[in-house]
Amino acid sequence: MTGLQASATDARTRGTRRFRPDPWAAGAFVITAIVALPVLTVLAAAFFPTENIWPHLWDTVLPGYILATLELMAGVAAGTILIGVSTAWLVTACDFPGRRIFEWALVLPLAMPAYVVAYVYTDILEFAGPVQALLRDIFGWRTAKDYWFPEIRSLGGAIVVMTMTLYPYVYLLTRSAFLEQSSGVGEAARTLGCSPWAAFRRVSLPMARPSIVVGVALVLMETLNDFGTVDFFAIQTLTTGMFNVWLVMNNTGGGAQIAVVMLIFVIFLLVAERAARRKRGYHDTSTRPRLPVRFVLRGGRKLLAVLVCAVPILIGFIVPAGLLTSYAIEFYDVSLNNRFPQAALNSILLAALAAVVAVMIGLFLAYAVRLRKSTLLRNLARFASLGYAVPGAVLAIGILFPFGAFDNAVDGFMRTTFGISTGLILSGTIVAVLFAYVVRFLALAYGTLEAGLGRVTPHMDDAARTLNHGPAQALIKVNLPIIRGSMLTAGILIFVDCMKELPATLLLRPFNFDTLATYVYQFASDELLEECALGALTIVAAGIIPVILLTRVMGRNRPDQEFSIT
């Protein structure tokens, strides 16, 4: 039964009136319109610039920005696939010492803000750092010109840092995909004479491909909108270029035009991701995966497996967390002032609230699209999700203007009508910050829940409706219990991301308001790692618990449906 028929039947059974206002479609329309405002604001600025410097940008820096961005994305994609897929396969298909610990520990780097990891490795690997100092002591070198050492502040350095903090996306999704399939198909391949390696290459990997693609698409979006790491490493990407044109040169049109180039990148990514998921022709027909049988690794292979899993955790989590801890202890008197606890509280409350709101809105949109089966609605919802790939500073500006316009319109109306001024209602309040978080991370919620709902057969809805439940009741009584896992997944990811969010918070926040990220930033922006260690560590700590929860949740559910962007 299609949605249209369903509502027709609905109307007939109620028999009261022929035309009912459609709250789901109307609600979805209003929500997407509001959420799309920031991106639309940026587009408007790009196409109607006051001073057009596009020709200058195109002749000078833009090709370089595009090239550097592509190189960075290619490197990070390759790195995250290599690490994410290999570790996912090891922990699901093989047995070796520490496997159960690695299973969740591999997700830990997700809690680390990439720019903090960048600071840490610069501290360790630069000339004055301990590694080079040791080498100089051993070999008797004196200056940097006496020997060669890889430059951490480089494209290569950025690729390594971002790979190490972002590979968990690929790992999580691929692992879930392997978990789902590991029982039946892997064994079938083995009985047909495949070696473990051949079974992996010829069966497991192709079947997991859609999940891998979704993970890589997420990683690439994060790569594209990263500002902190690339700025610190002096890589001239589209994001840093846009930042300079827009906010340093104060040329809104030019900045917005670079933002449009970035949106084109994103749309390309989304299309590629959709295509990869559509082509998914393989299904495991068994409904209940049995406990997987793992290959027991021995000798050299055992050692290799441990190494492959341990190194990313070491680089992406243990070393940075260790250094931060030692700095935090040494400099706690500098970093721990009376503003710190309030900042921590603000961060946690705001991130939790944003997660709840984004999940509810994402659910509403996904369910409305499911109910009405309208292509228009679906495309609108996807457009609203573009905020995920827009750098935070741009998003913030895209929010400032519509909010300011709204506030001033209300104020103007009240002044002329009632002679009272309402001032700013939304601008400069935590509502603006919250809105930024929701716009930024709605994609995670919508995508995840759309996929989660896709897993619930429409017959369930129909059954509920025959019991005279309305769509809302059907959602609450039938769908919600089934997609609880998806909701939790989306909520946790959004929470962790909000804890780390900096640029939009910085620009939109109320007076005298700090989150952990802005608190850390006031030291970090001066490259004073020691002073910001405690705050950074708190962001990480607040992220760890949900991240570990996430592994559990995602181990239980079907992966590629569990989780996707738009």
> Considering only residues 78-137, where is the footprint of other proteins by CB under 8 A?
127-128
> Considering only residues 432-451, where is the footprint of other proteins by CB under 8 A?
434
Radius of gyration of the chain (CA): 25
The tokens 């009584």 sit on which residue? 477
Segment interacting with other proteins, rule: CB under 8 A, options 1-9, 208-216, 231-239, 446-454: 231-239
- First and final CA of the chain: distance in angstroms? 25
What gap in Å lies between CA 127 and CA 119, rounded to an integer?
14
- If one asks whether residue 336 binds other proteins (CB under 8 A), the answer comes out as no
Q: Looking at 6, 37, 57, 166, which residue binds other proteins (CB under 8 A)?
A: 57
Nearest residue to 221 (alpha-carbon basis) of 549, 493, 539: 493
The DSSP element (H or E) to which 345 belongs, if any, is helix 339-372
Q: Is 119 exposed, middle or buried (0-12, 13-18, 19+ CB in 10 A)?
A: buried
Q: What is the largest CA-CA distance in the chain?
A: 92
Q: Looking at 225, 335, 427, 489, which residue binds other proteins (CB under 8 A)?
A: 427
Segment interacting with other proteins, rule: CB under 8 A, options 192-200, 256-264, 300-308, 519-527: 519-527
- If one asks whether residue 345 binds other proteins (CB under 8 A), the answer comes out as no
Q: Looking at 236, 301, 460, 555, which residue binds other proteins (CB under 8 A)?
A: 236
> Considering only residues 369-398, where is the footprint of other proteins by CB under 8 A?
393, 396-397
What gap in Å lies between CA 502 and CA 496, rounded to an integer?
12
Reading the block at residue 402, the tokens are 């519509």
Give the total of residues touching other proteins (CB under 8 A). 71
Q: Looking at 16, 143, 191, 417, which residue binds other proteins (CB under 8 A)?
A: 143
Segment interacting with other proteins, rule: CB under 8 A, options 110-118, 194-202, 441-449, 505-513: 505-513
In the shown chain, the binding pattern of residues 150 to 189 toward other proteins, with x for contact by CB under 8 A and - for none, equals -x-x------------------------------------
Instruction: Confirm if 152 and 315 have CB atoms less than 8 A apart.
Output: no
**DSSP 3-state assignment of 94?**
strand
Instruction: Confirm if 385 and 447 have CB atoms less than 8 A apart.
Output: yes
Task: Count other Cβ atoms within 10 Å, centred on residue 465.
Answer: 20
The tokens 């369930």 sit on which residue? 460
- If one asks whether residue 424 binds other proteins (CB under 8 A), the answer comes out as yes
Question: Residue 94's beta-bridge partner residues?
Answer: 295
Phi, psi of 230 (to 5 degrees): -65, -35
Segment interacting with other proteins, rule: CB under 8 A, options 72-80, 106-114, 278-286, 406-414: 406-414
Segment interacting with other proteins, rule: CB under 8 A, options 93-101, 190-198, 369-377, 511-519: 511-519
Shortest distance, position 30 Cβ to other proteins, whole Å:
9
Nearest residue to 471 (alpha-carbon basis) of 15, 23, 16, 18: 23
Q: Is the dihedral angle over the CA atoms 26, 28, 31, 35 positive or is it negative?
A: negative
Shortest distance, position 403 Cβ to other proteins, whole Å:
7
Q: Which is nearer to other proteins, 35 or 208 (CB)?
A: 35
Segment interacting with other proteins, rule: CB under 8 A, options 143-151, 293-301, 440-448, 480-488: 143-151
Q: Which is nearer to other proteins, 282 or 332 (CB)?
A: 332
Q: Which is nearer to other proteins, 322 or 423 (CB)?
A: 423
- If one asks whether residue 360 binds other proteins (CB under 8 A), the answer comes out as yes
From start to end of 219-376, where are the E strands? Answer: 295-296
Shortest distance, position 231 Cβ to other proteins, whole Å:
9
Q: List, as one string, the DSSP characters of 87-126.
A: HHHHHHHEE-TTHHHHHHHTTGGGGS-HHHHHHHHHHHHS
Segment interacting with other proteins, rule: CB under 8 A, options 69-77, 262-270, 358-366, 553-561: 358-366
The tokens 């030291």 sit on which residue? 523
Q: Which is nearer to other proteins, 162 or 216 (CB)?
A: 162
> Considering only residues 280-309, where is the footprint of other proteins by CB under 8 A?
none
Task: Count other Cβ atoms within 10 Å, centred on residue 509.
Answer: 21
Q: Which is nearer to other proteins, 407 or 497 (CB)?
A: 407
> Considering only residues 9-38, where is the footprint of other proteins by CB under 8 A?
27, 31
Shortest distance, position 566 Cβ to other proteins, whole Å:
19
